[in-house]
């Protein structure tokens, strides 16, 4: 599975993160609990019901997509122990 081109912008507070995507634009993603199994948009891994994941706070076409905590760590640049730089707002 090819990763989606999401880009980390910044974390506003615990569990509320700004991401950017070429198709969906800038969106806020919030930490939530899964209600049914899903696949992570970044890692492609299966996420089980009951796990904590990130979901977009939107009604656009990607409202059913989910990102695992491991996937968000990759976007933030924390998977290798380094935190990604935050991008300035335009």
Q: Which helix (H) or strand (E) holds 75?
A: helix 69-76
58 DSSP 8-state letter: S
Q: Report domain extents, the chain.
A: 7-76
pLDDT of residue 89: 40
Rounded distance between C-alpha atoms, residue 37 and residue 14, angstroms: 24
Percent of the chain residues topping a pLDDT of 70:
82
The pTM assigned to this predicted structure is 0.79
Within 10 A of 42 (CB to CB), how many other CB atoms are there?
20
Q: Which helix (H) or strand (E) holds 10?
A: strand 7-13
pLDDT digits (tens, 9 = 90+) for 26-56: 999 999 999 999 999 999 999 999 999 999 9
């Amino acid at each position: 599975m090819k990763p989606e081109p999401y880009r980390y912008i910044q974390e506003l507070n615990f569990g509320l993160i700004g991401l950017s995507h070429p198709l969906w634009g800038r969106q806020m993603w919030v930490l939530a609990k899964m209600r049914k199994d899903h696949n992570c948009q970044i890692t492609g891994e299966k996420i089980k019901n009951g796990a904590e994941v990130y979901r977009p706070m939107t009604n656009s076409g990607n409202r059913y997509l989910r990102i695992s905590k491991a996937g968000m760590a990759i976007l933030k640049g924390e998977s290798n122990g380094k935190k990604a730089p935050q991008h300035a707002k335009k």
